[in-house]
Structures are given as structure tokens and as C-alpha cells.
Amino acid sequence: MDTLTGLLEGPKARGAFLLKSVFNPPWSLRVEDRAPLSVVTMVHGDAWLLPDHATPVLIRPGDVAVVRGPDPYTVADTPDTPVQITVGPEQRCSTQEGEDVTDTMALGVRTWGDAFQDAGSSVMLSGTYQAPSEIGRRLLSALPTLLVRPAEAADNTLVTLLTSEISKDEPGQEIVLDRLLDLLLIGVLRTWLAAPGSGAPSWYRAQGDPVVGPALRLLHENPFHGWTVEELALKVGVSRACLARRFTDVVGEPPVAYLTGWRLALAADLLREPDATVTTVARRVGYSSAFALSTAFKRVRGISPQEFRAGATQATAPPSAEPPRTVVLSPPGPDRP
């Protein structure tokens, strides 16, 4: 398993909130749902996506935007249009006067807005991850506040398919939509990580290093093994000192510290399973006992596995290593701002 595969296994939508929104200009939607991650794409018409702490971007049909929460953002037909509706927790929508319009603006299955679609309408698809898996948190915490892949850099097949499927009400439809959302997100993330100068995190760039890359693959393929730096170095074919120095220089932390973080990320994801116990999770991620896992978990995350399972997850999210910013993945053409 390569490093990216292991990390991209994390964002798995489970009953994600997906919606087709239809608006006639002027319109402006303020999103304050505190969701950790949202994916937005336009089907018809343009829209401005305005994060509170990053550069606004004009998104056009086929562009795919990934917005990292929980900070609010606004989507509007122009940057100057006053906010008309605010989306709060649990996707409840209200006007500026406080009127709840969640139900009154419903237009059908997973469709919502101020009017039925016509030639002048703006049509937006959005998918909201309620709680991304802990395995993906190392990746997601490295994301910019706003990441945009323009249509000319994207495979529009998924957007077209999502547009077709989002309004259907058939058996198993939720699973179909969840997987389409995952594929759309992963496509954007892969493009971001591969783009030169995009700010991809050091642990991803380390995959191509002739010393660190093989060591990372070993850690990801077999995290429950009792790895030592000496054994990793032997497998990679370098000295212990060489591996320790090179790994720390390239990844930003020593091999054993990286392995601990990876094991605890796996443990955090497994702890969400209803039938899991701390003892079984400990064995699955390479700890000899529940006590050993609990000690490491509390030392690194500040809470016990039991507290984590009870819902105290906000304090466990690592801070972003970079300041909030906007990244557009391909140079704009002459007709793009």
C-alpha cells in the first residue's frame, strides 16, 4: 500500500448530506454548519465562493471546490450580494429575519432553492462530510481552506453522473451518492498532491525519496508490526543513522513518531465501530494491551480512548501546518479571473 492509498482510505462518506440547490439572481448563501469538509460544484451558472479567511474564487460549471471547515463561508452570484439565507448546524436554513425556510424552499428529492430551474438559474451541487474518518485527518488537516480544480483540469464524468443521480429516490441511493462524492473528492486531492508547487505536505512528497519512500510503505502496509529504526533501515538497505536522519529531514518527524501517529489515527477510526473494544483495537494497531494504547492515546491526543468514543473529538484534530489559503490547481485561461 502506498502512502496516498492509506490516507485516501480515510474520507469515506457515511450518509453525507448531498443537495442540488437552484437559485435565481441575485442570491447569496451563508454556510455556518461547521462541517469539517464540503465539496461544491456548479452545474449551471457561475458563483463566487468566499471563505472568511481565504481569497475568494469564481467557480464555473464543472469546477470542483473543496472547502475545509469548520470556518464559515459564503456562496453567491456576486461578491457584493447581501446574504439572504444562512445554513446552520444540521443543515437548518433561515432568512436574515430568522424565518426557518428549510422545508418551505424544498423543491423535490435532494433539491432546494428559491425557484424551479430555468435558463437563468444558478444550479449548484454540494456534498458535506459530517465527520471525516480519522485516518484521513492527517491529509485533510494539510488542505488549504479552499481548493479549486477548474473544469478544464477535471474529468467531468463524475460531475455529470452526480448531477443525474442526486435527485433520484431509489433503493441504495444513499450509498451510490456517498461513493460518487468520495470519488469526486479523491480526484481533486490527487490533482492537488501531484501539482507542482501546490503545497503538498512533506510526508506525501517523501514517497518519491529513495530512502524514505520504501520505509513509509513498510509502515503503512504493516503498522501493527513492532518496527524499530534498525529493522526499517535493514529492510531499506541503509544504516540506522542514515534512515533516522533522512526520514526526519524529509517527513519532519522521526520514523517511530510517524508510526505512532499513524497507529493512533487507525485506532481512532476503529474506535468508532460500535462493537470495538479498546483491547481489540490495541491489538489491531500494534499495541500489546489496552493500557499501552490508552497511555499513548492520551499522551498524544490529550484524552483517553474512552473519552474519544464518547464524542470528545474536536480537541484531537491536529492544527493545520500552514496558514489558511486558496489554491486553484491550474493556471486560469484568458477568460478566467
Rounded Cα gap, residues 8 and 214, in angstroms: 18
Is a pLDDT exceeding 80 seen at residue 133? no
Rounded Cα gap, residues 22 and 219, in angstroms: 47
236: pLDDT confidence band, cut at 50, 70 and 90? very high
Is a pLDDT exceeding 50 seen at residue 315? no
Segment 149-182, tens digit of pLDDT: 998 765 688 889 999 999 998 988 999 998 999 8
Mean pLDDT in residue range 97-113? 93
Q: Which residue, among 183, 69, 54, 72, has the nearest Cα to 129 in the 3D structure?
A: 69
The percent of residues in the chain predicted with pLDDT above 70, rounded, is: 85
Q: What is the CA radius of gyration of the chain?
A: 22
Is a pLDDT exceeding 50 seen at residue 323? no
- pLDDT value at residue 12: 66
The percent of residues in the chain predicted with pLDDT above 90, rounded, is: 53
- pLDDT value at residue 254: 95
Q: Is residue 197 classed exposed, middle or buried when 0-12, 13-18 and 19+ CB atoms within 10 A define those classes?
A: exposed
Q: Would you state the cell numbers that stand for residue 7, as one nine-digit string?
A: 490516507
Rounded Cα gap, residues 42 and 59, in angstroms: 7
| 209 in Cβ contact with 252 (< 8 Å) | no
Q: Which residue, among 42, 39, 35, 34, has the nearest Cα to 66 in the 3D structure?
A: 39
76: pLDDT confidence band, cut at 50, 70 and 90? very high
